[in-house]
Amino acid sequence: MPTENLYSFVDRFPGMRMLCIGDMMLDIFTYGKVDRLSPEAPVPVLKETRVRQMLGGSGNVVANLCSLDCTTLFAGVVGDDAPGADLRGYLRELGADAEMLITQPGYHTSVKTRYVSGSQHLLRVDREERLCLTEEVLSTLLGTIEAKLPDINMVLLSDYGKGLFDERFTPAVIAMSRKAGCPVIVDPKTTDYTIYRGATLVKPNRKEFEGVTGQSFDPTAPGFADAAVAAGREVCRRYGVENLLVTLSEHGMIYIPGDESKKYRWIPTEAKEVFDVSGAGDTSLATLGAAMAAGASMKQAMRIANAASGIVVAKFGTATVTRKELKHKLENKEEISVLNTEQAVALAEELRTQGKTIGFTNGCFDILHPGHLASFERARDLCDVLIVGLNSDASVRRLKGPTRPVNNEQARAAMVSALKPVNYVVIFEEDTALPLIDKLRPDVIAKEGYPLDRWPEGRFVVSYGGQAVELPRLDGFSTTSIVDKINS
């Protein structure tokens, strides 16, 4: 299934009803130009050129959900002040339902003001106080949320540590959401996950994960995945949360299911150029939640969220990703690498540490035709990563005769690697792929037209516990018949 049709889930986003609950704040960006230092003190003088206000904190999750065309509802608390009124207006401008944005008298809405010259942040000034919900506001907020839950597909708790998610509010929201059949994803702030008990998924970043586990983790160190999974499952047991998804910045993200019968997943980052990480976690939360609500599996939802984060970190400021941008990213696969044997072996080892299933197929693939594509698609369905072994020119001549190959190995590798089901191509010199298979040790080998008793490569994979799958042949297509037709 090419690219797992991930963009089909994105097409379903407009039908999803998402409830975001969180700490709302107002972000103010004051832009200007610095061309001198102050004569009063050794500090830059910013000549203001423009000021921009926007939703901050959990509001960035809302902005992303709206940008992805989800039907979005927000629940939270603001003060009876001008910033609170501004936030309410910005929610409405986005098209979000602001009915559950409750005003608490005496509370001052949080405001964060950033001063920026060019692309350089000079200073941030925070004006905030910790929220302490009154019993009246608590009751009103819980009541309005409960009334909306029957029509909600997914609940997102965006905890910025400003006081909303206390020991009274958080457990009540999670309990009523799960009772209504709504999954709950939490972007946490505290290291005490007791208040998150019952959550479907908690999504800490690496620093927050280290805080809750009391351990340090280096994603580049040997054994990282095993250590992280063991620690994560202990967190799930201790606090009664179902799953964890730890974001690792430039190292991607790792999914840790509390159920030990399920496999963990570790996927690399999609970002090619990082310009600003502001709000990337909010984009990830919004997109992951929307994808899961749309029916994506955890692996699929991670890939969609990862792609969205890769887009947004290449933008400046607390940016959002649109559904069009996300579909474009998913539909246009990045160029695939053609690896040598040493690179392929190192890759296989890395993939195994990430818990990924490695698939393998091989052949000459001299003139590509629909039969080849059908085989690649079927092989890709059996694994997480498909590696294609490609006979070298010398190998093809020994097998097919002096007039073959029609296309040289560089051209054949480029064509095969451009196909969506294929992740990596490895050129091998031997007449058989057995030496390469022995080094890679794939989990699955798949090839058309070879029953096991006439397929030594398949028997070898089975001998060490792997799986050999004979693929059905697509009748009417073969390279030899194409060459014969051309010659005639």
For 462-476, the pLDDT digits (tens) are 999 899 999 987 665
Q: What's the total number of domains in the chain? A: 2
Residue-range definition of the domain harbouring residue 478: 338-487
**CB neighbourhood size of 179 (10 A):** 11
Are 429 and 365 contained in the same domain? yes
Contact by Cβ (8 Å): 380, 360: no
Pairwise CA distance, residues 380 & 92, whole Å: 44
Residue 274 confidence (pLDDT)? 38
The answer as to whether 3 is a domain residue is no
Highest averaged pLDDT of the listed ranges 196-200, 278-282, 341-345, 406-410: 196-200
Q: What is the largest CA-CA distance in the chain?
A: 89
- Locate tokens 């102050």: which residue? 38
Residue 328 confidence (pLDDT)? 78
Are 465 and 390 contained in the same domain? yes
The answer as to whether 284 is a domain residue is yes
Residue 276 confidence (pLDDT)? 39
Coil/strand/helix, residue 101: strand
Q: What is the value of pTM for the model shown?
A: 0.68
Calculate mean pLDDT across residues 376-383: 93
The answer as to whether 218 is a domain residue is yes
The answer as to whether 206 is a domain residue is yes
- Among 331, 353, 374, the domain-final residue is 331
11 catalytically annotated: no
Contacts of 281 (CB under 8 A, 6+ apart): 187, 203, 205, 247
- Among 283, 298, 331, the domain-final residue is 331
Name the band, by pLDDT with cuts 50, 70 and 90, for residue 5: confident
Cβ-in-10-Å burial (0-12, 13-18, 19+) of 44 comes to: middle
Of 23, 69, 159, 282, which is the active-site residue? Answer: 282
Q: Is pLDDT larger for residue 270 or for residue 180? A: 180
